[in-house]
Structure 1
Amino acid sequence: MITLTESAIQELKRLRSKYEKEGSQPILRLGVKPSGCSGLSYVMNFEPQANPDDHTFDFGELRVAVDPLSMTLIQGLTVDFSEDLLGGGFKFKNPNAVASCGCGTSFATAETAAAVGH
């Protein structure tokens, strides 16, 4: 399961409006990629549709797709959004993360930390 706070949903819907074409509502792709100080970074972008093997979640009018590999690393993730002048933006609370860096978008799980020697 993935959770989006109401403030994250509202900001994502606002951002999605820039990607909408007549008659279409892009979905949010949420996942991870190897990158960042801790080994993995969160990625978010809008795509026309989900892939057949994606896990999908509906938050009212907002649909989120997560690929199977990313899902194993972010199961239970909560995404929040803050408009604070300092430190604002999207925040990720991942129960699988055993380490993260100050940027808040880079993390390691027990498996990835062991693989890179953290």
Structure 2
Amino acid sequence: MAITITEAAAKHVQQFLSNRGKGIGIRLAVRTSGCSGMAYEMEFADELDEDDQVFEDLGVKVIIDPKSLVYLDGTEIDYTKEGLNEGFKFNNPNAKGECGCGESFQV
């Protein structure tokens, strides 16, 4: 099981954590939502829960709860800029499809 992060994403996470002034990493999870069924949820993490899985890549800790890990195993977190749009992108090998707006996915 592994979660990876690209250099571009790691740079942005480190910059956000530095500007925030605290935090041990980012928490990545999935929740039921959207037209395709599942949506990514990412937030800063200040502490670990007992059953969290921690993956460290390029100096960034990515924290995932066991329920979400089933859907996220093998995911690469990237940061992209396309025209006026920029943000985190999730390259998830478990996703079988995405909705038209890109906000949710199905497994």
TM-score range relative to shorter protein: 0.7 to 0.9
1:89 aligns with 87
Provide closer, same or farther for how the CA distance between residues 103 and 26 of structure 1 changes in structure 2, counting only shifts above 3 A: farther
Stretch moving more, 59-68 or 30-39? 59-68
Length-normalised TM-score, structure 1: 0.80
RMSD between superposed Cα atoms in Å? 1.6
Larger relative strand fraction? 2
Structure showing greater Rg: 1
| 2:43 alignment counterpart | 45
Aligned equivalents of 2:76, 2:14: Cα separation in 1: 17
Q: 1:62 aligns with which of 60, 63, 85?
A: 60
Consecutive unaligned residues of structure 1, counting only runs of 5 or more, are 110-118
Percent of aligned pairs sharing the same letter? 40
Q: Find the aligned partners of 1:18 and 1:102 in 2 and give their Cα distance.
A: 33
TM-score (norm 2): 0.88
Higher RCO (CA 8 Å, separation ≥ 6 residues): 2
Q: 1:103 to 1:88 in 2, by over 3 A?
A: farther
Give the aligned residue type for 1:8: A
